[in-house]
Amino acid sequence: MSNATQSALRGSPREPGNQRAAFGGIEKSAVRTTADRPDFTAIQQSAEFRSLRRRLKWFVFPATAFFLIWYLGYVVAAAYFPEELAKPVVGDVNVGLLLGIGQFVTTVGLTTLYVRFARRHIDPRVDEIREQAGEFDR
């Protein structure tokens, strides 16, 4: 290790009259000072935030429950009723294949519903809470 590197690592000045020298000649800290952060505890305890959480739970929990029941129902049907799922509907397309494709359709549908729900109901309220917290004042 060179003397300059050792000096920078130790934090001692190179020469008695100079300021502390850092590795590669960088003399200022990479840590940036920022404005005061919002009071997250106060935000979390606010009525607006609690209302927002309730509204989000109103959508997320039923949607999750619906999808889990639908998915597990498909898995159980495939495990215990394979002859029913093997019945042809049109040509080589059977009930099991349609239900499997239905899983993908349901996933896309729930995602689309959530995005629409978030844009209409969640995002505007999040913006209000951020404004009240002073996050958009910069």
In a domain, residue 95? The reply is: yes
- Residue 131 dihedral angles phi and psi, to the nearest 5°: -65, -45
Give the predicted TM-score (pTM) of the model: 0.64
Residue scoring higher pLDDT (13 or 78): 78
Phi-psi region of 91 (alpha: psi -120 to 50; beta: other; left: phi over 0): left
Tell me how far apart the alpha carbons of residues 117 and 114 are, in angstroms, rounded to a whole number.
5
Identify the domain containing residue 73 by its residue range.
Answer: 55-129
Tell me how far apart the alpha carbons of residues 56 and 67 are, in angstroms, rounded to a whole number.
17
Q: Is the pLDDT of residue 130 over 70?
A: yes
Tell me how far apart the alpha carbons of residues 81 and 99 are, in angstroms, rounded to a whole number.
13
pLDDT reported for residue 87: 95
Number of domains in the chain: 1
**Contact at 8 Å (CB) between 24 and 105?**
no
Q: What is the pLDDT of residues 63-119, one digit of tens each?
A: 999 999 999 999 999 999 999 999 999 999 999 999 999 999 999 999 999 999 999
Tell me how far apart the alpha carbons of residues 60 and 63 are, in angstroms, rounded to a whole number.
5
In a domain, residue 13? The reply is: no
pLDDT reported for residue 26: 67
In a domain, residue 74? The reply is: yes
